[in-house]
Structure 1
Amino acid sequence: MRGPFVIRRRGGRADLSPAPRRSGRGAARSLLAVGCGALPVLAFPAPGLWWRACLALVPWLLLIRSAPGARRAGLDGWFGGLGFMLAMHHWLLPSLHVFLLPLAALLGLLWLPWGWLVRALLGGTPSLPRAAVALLAVPSGWLLVELARSWEGLGGPWGLLGASQWQVPAALRLASVGGVWLVSLLLVAVNTAVVLLVASPGRRAVGVAGLAACALVVGTAAWGVPAPRESGTVRVGLVQPGVFGGPDGPEGRLARAEALTRSLAGQRLDLVVWGESGVGADPTGDPKLAARLTALSRAVGAPLLVNVDARGADRPGIYKSAVLVGPSGLTGDRYDKMRLVPFGEYIPARPLLGWVTSAGRAADEDRRRGSEPVVMALPGRGAGASPPRVGPLVCFESAFPDMSRRLTRDGAGLLVVQSSTSTFQGSWAPAQHASLAALRAAETGRPVVHATLTGVSAAYGPDGRRVGRALGTDASAAVVRELPLSGTTTAYVRWGDWPLYGALVVVGAVCAAEGAGAFRTPAPARRGRRARTARA
């Protein structure tokens, strides 16, 4: 005989009967997990309900801790991760179509071991030591999931929980100490403390202590972490030509960008920034285009940082490159994008997955990668202080904290992001992307400008706070932002991703203790008639 059976007593005699099927109940629970996993996305732009991040994980955690066994807890983690990834990346549906579902399911697997961890520490009635350990280990496990999915090949660090707090000054101060990772860690700790407070009446003291500790950390960040010291200003023009369609779209967009740039003449700018792919040919191999851009730089009295999406004049393949053009011509400073968007700019394992191009708007040809970051020196305006050195990033790269940290350590005083989210107009993507620059500014203590073709374009000071209004996706305009400079070296720039190393130590210690039997989670008590389940 095979399968689960239930032993029931009937008239003093044992009766072995097949256990009732629970497939319907399991499916309903899986759908509930998907919904619970999607809730945190409401804290991000465009909904922007940032405060929900402090409670958004509570339903998911409560569901996992009630799992009847480790297998079900893992499934709750997996399906919750599936819901989170689908909700966070739903705007990719027009590009990837049905292929988005298996991708989300694959990435959701990263939360499966987190489900085991949550149940092991929060399931049943946790002892005081187990509840105290949960306050550290559950957030640490979440952080390791964020680390794993931050690998470029898995889509990169888009939608890290801490990034939802981009408008909260205390969270930005925390980011200057431990990056976006420290903000994520604290948010999950708050959610874990709330679960202990609500679901474990005997352990409410631990939940209260956890909330008090989190409040202490936030207060210390708000009033104890010094703001970056200002050391001058830089004047930057952001040019956003807007949406141009039809066969003359690229040329019309270029002409509009030129007209907007000329309107900035006489404003004593240090730099004018265009969005990603604003130039459709490589000016190093096109003398007429190079002369056209040079004349424009001379007319406005400032260097232009344009972005080229084209085949190289003297090298094979297509590159996305930030190119600096001064009043005297091409300066020779060029940065080629290093981290490419999976499926958008290249197809991973193209011989195996190349069919995706027929099912959605995936890359027909793989872009080439740059080899190293570049810090550019701007030509000065003559008398006065020299302008800061510029560290360029292209689009997707602004999601990676380590890239802006590297540019800062290499001497960049201003970080520039050139982006284009025109494919996703009307979705949450443009606002989410622009908000990432606030975290990068706070982490590095350097001002950041985020210039796009079609919005959202914005600028942030070295403390991560936005300077002036952002240009929305309905705007075709050029604006000037005067940004404070800072030479302060933040703790994050100095020490890097130390919260991740701490999380590895904590989770490793918990796994070792679990292997030794230190955390044994009883199954939830059954209601009604007692039954014993046997397998034959």
Structure 2
Amino acid sequence: MRRLGLLARREARRSALAAVSGLALGLAFPPFGVWPLSLVAVAALALLTHGRTARQGAWTGFAFGLPFFLLLLKWLSVVGWDAVVGLSVIEAAFLALMGAGLALVSRLPVPALWPLWTACLWVAEEWARDRVPFGGFPWGRLAFANTGSPYTPLAALGGAPLVTFGVALTGGALAGAALALCRLRGAGGFSPRRALPAAGAGAVAVAVTAAGFAVPVPTAADDSVDIAVVQGNVQQPGMDFLGRPMMILDNHVKATLNLAKDVKAGRIAKPDLVIWPENASDLDPFQYREAYARIDEAVKSIGVPVLVGALVDHPTKQGYVENQGIVWDPKSGPGASYTKQHPVPFGEYVPFRQELSKIITRLQRVPRDFYPGDHTGVLNVGPARLGDVICFEVAYDEIVRDTVNAGARAIVVQTNNATYGRSGQPEQQLVMSKLRAIEHGRPVITAATSGISAVVSPDGTIEQRTKEFTQDVFTARIPLRDGKTLADRVGAIPEWVLAMVGVLSCAAAIMIGRRGRTDEKGQ
């Protein structure tokens, strides 16, 4: 701790610049959405770690990461600021490791390749953070700040990791150009030969930025279907959004009954299917007859299948609950279902419950653990074969990709953001739907209990969206697609390759550094 304190004091100015850069990266994400700041932040961190020791780079990375995540995750303050700080520290630790790596690779031979090592290390950092601990937490990926930038189409080639790589490579190239210009100035004057490194780095930045415009984004439809999305709303935002039992379900039932009246009166064309959000039924319809009857009433009134979000008791494991999307038919009732595969740790289940609950009493507000599903969410809902992913699952590459590869012709994101309403979290999640639409060449329909519900076209355009904390119903004709993008075909290969290049570049830097010290001792 003493050494850490001394390091912090010595690095005060650099740490302050790193913190400002981290805040700049936070502003690149919704609800602010100033995506060019992501390039500035990447370039700044690369410059701040250039030529430093691994320990200094780690501290700079942490000083960058902590304010970034504090700003990005401030929506968790609904749970408590201790949760914001705790999660931010954990996530910033990954950026500390990356900062150490950036410092190491800045010493490698061939300075022209420095931006490449920088970009690969960003991919490696996100690769690790997306997977550990407890299945990872992908929030804050560079790709999610660039869902409406020139880099977004790269998702159709290599998914979110390739978008991150493109952004980081551009930022690294800008840092390389800035460093070369500083050296040019210090060399005592301009000459074409001396200007080549700066010009080359700038050309790389321009070329990578322009590359996105050359990527074709497939949008041609093989078929289409008419849908209705029901946003029933909740009684209050925050941790206690549920209110009394049946209230949220009644909201969705009433909104669907009103939709049926409009259809019967000819004011709205009858949809082929209806989508309700996650937790639209706040009671298990298989355990509570009243809940079953109300859902059945709503489905029969509209006369088409409804994808119902509900919490269902696990059939065999007592004390566990499943977060499901259930296909409810007007004639045959409930049928096929999808169970959320990736429950949120400390939100939907409590790791080490017996031990931690004694220390953190707030965890008792999660009375039962969610049990994970074991298959993708491909469901036949009326005439459409939809891929259901639930809430935070839209942030995980493999869950959405596996669903599309299993045959989903459109993607549905059932979500419940009532806890984090008006905090920026719904906007951060919505842009993930934009990226997934381009990545997989599929429309993405987001159905939320309290907002934001939306329809995103395969090219990433938000065609419709609702306001938060309003009851709303909208209809849309969405394209259904069978073709796959290159990103669907190659899967996680680009991410693994780029991450391994980043790791191996660090390993090479360590070996070269040791060899150099050995040579010095030999002399």
Regarding TM over 0.5, the answer is yes
Aligned to 1:528: none
CA deviation map 1:345-400 (0-9, x unaligned): 11222234324642578623322221222311123xxxxxxx22111111111111
How far apart, CA to CA, are the structure 1 residues paired with 2:443 and 2:7? Answer: 56
CA deviation map 1:420-445 (0-9, x unaligned): 11111221101111111111111111
1:419 aligns with 2:381: no
How far apart, CA to CA, are the structure 1 residues paired with 2:473 and 2:359? Answer: 37
Aligned to 1:222: 213
Match of 1:166 among 147, 160, 165: 147
Match of 2:233 among 226, 242, 251: 242
CA deviation map 1:195-247 (0-9, x unaligned): 11112324863454344334334434323425232222222211112231488
Could you tell me which runs of 5 or more consecutive residues in structure 2 were left unpaired when the two chains were aligned. Answer: 184-193, 264-268, 518-523
Aligned to 1:383: none
What TM-score results when the alignment is normalised by the length of structure 1? 0.84
Aligned to 1:392: 388
Describe the SS at the equivalent of 1:389: strand
Aligned to 1:405: 401
How far apart, CA to CA, are the structure 2 residues paired with 1:352 and 1:390? Answer: 40
How far apart, CA to CA, are the structure 1 residues paired with 2:82 and 2:56? Answer: 26
Match of 2:82 among 80, 98, 108: 98
1:481 aligns with 2:465: no
Describe the SS at the equivalent of 1:77: helix
1:114 aligns with 2:93: no
Alignment of 1:22-101 (within 5 A): 24-27=9-12, 29-65=14-50, 67=52, 69-101=53-85
How far apart, CA to CA, are the structure 1 residues paired with 2:301 and 2:104? Answer: 66
1:367–1:171 Cα change, 3 Å: same
Structure with more helix by fraction: 2
Q: CA deviation at 1:494?
A: 0.6
Match of 1:274 among 276, 294, 309: 276
Aligned to 2:222: 231
Aligned to 2:305: 303
What TM-score results when the alignment is normalised by the length of structure 2? 0.86
1:520–1:330 Cα change, 3 Å: farther
Describe the SS at the equivalent of 1:354: helix
How far apart, CA to CA, are the structure 1 residues paired with 2:516 and 2:40? Answer: 24
Q: CA deviation at 1:38?
A: 2.7
Aligned to 2:191: none
- Select between 193-202 and 414-423 the one with higher mean Cα deviation: 193-202
Q: CA deviation at 1:288?
A: 4.2
Alpha carbons 1:121, 1:134 under 8 Å: kept: yes
Aligned to 1:8: none
Alpha carbons 2:235, 2:242 under 8 Å: kept: no
How far apart, CA to CA, are the structure 2 residues paired with 1:204 and 1:320? Answer: 59
Equivalent position amino acid for 2:101 in 1: L
Alpha carbons 2:173, 2:204 under 8 Å: kept: no
Aligned to 1:7: none
Aligned to 2:188: none
Equivalent position amino acid for 1:108 in 2: A
How far apart, CA to CA, are the structure 2 residues paired with 1:112 and 1:417? Answer: 33
Equivalent position amino acid for 1:432 in 2: Q
Aligned to 2:156: 176
CA deviation map 1:454-486 (0-9, x unaligned): 111111122222223x11214221111211222
Alignment of 1:516-535 (within 5 A): 516-517=511-512
How far apart, CA to CA, are the structure 2 residues paired with 1:315 and 1:403? Answer: 24
How far apart, CA to CA, are the structure 1 residues paired with 2:306 and 2:127? Answer: 36
Identity of aligned residues (%): 26
1:378 aligns with 2:362: no
How far apart, CA to CA, are the structure 2 residues paired with 1:344 and 1:415? Answer: 24
Aligned to 1:364: 367
1:319 aligns with 2:322: yes
Number of aligned residue pairs: give it.
490
Aligned to 1:347: 350
